[in-house]
């Protein structure tokens, strides 16, 4: 959830901040500022997919194992963290 919030705020607030003073960037330069996010997402997608497949293989009975990491309550002695 934190990742989504960070990404969403970057997409909505970043252009506003870059268009205002002291930066006063043009629309084209603001678009170029988003290229690192796009390239990073493009490169990270296969890695995240592979990690998701590994997590699913290690926990075949848990359908949510692809989406979140859970503590083993018996070993950790703590509540499950969603």
pLDDT digit string, tens, across residues 62-75: 766 556 555 454 44
Give the pTM: 0.55
* Measured distance CA(82)–CA(64) in Å, rounded: 10
* Res. 82 pLDDT band, cuts 50 70 90: very low
Q: How far, rounded to the nearest angstrom, does the alpha carbon of residue 60 sit from its chain's CA centroid?
A: 24
- 47 close to 36: Cβ distance less than 8 angstroms: no
Q: Please tell me the predicted confidence (pLDDT) of residue 5.
A: 84
Q: How is the chain split into domains, by residue range? A: 1-33, 35-82
| Percentage above 90 pLDDT, the chain | 29
Confidence band of 4 (pLDDT split at 50, 70, 90): confident
């Amino acid at each position: 959830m934190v990742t989504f919030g960070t990404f969403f705020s970057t997409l909505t607030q970043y252009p506003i901040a870059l268009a205002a003073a002291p930066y006063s960037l043009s629309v084209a330069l603001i678009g170029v500022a988003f290229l690192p996010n796009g390239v990073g997402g493009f490169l990270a997608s296969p890695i995240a997919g592979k990690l998701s497949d590994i997590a699913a293989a290690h926990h075949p009975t848990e359908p949510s194992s692809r989406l979140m990491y859970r503590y083993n309550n018996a070993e950790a002695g703590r509540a499950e963290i969603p």
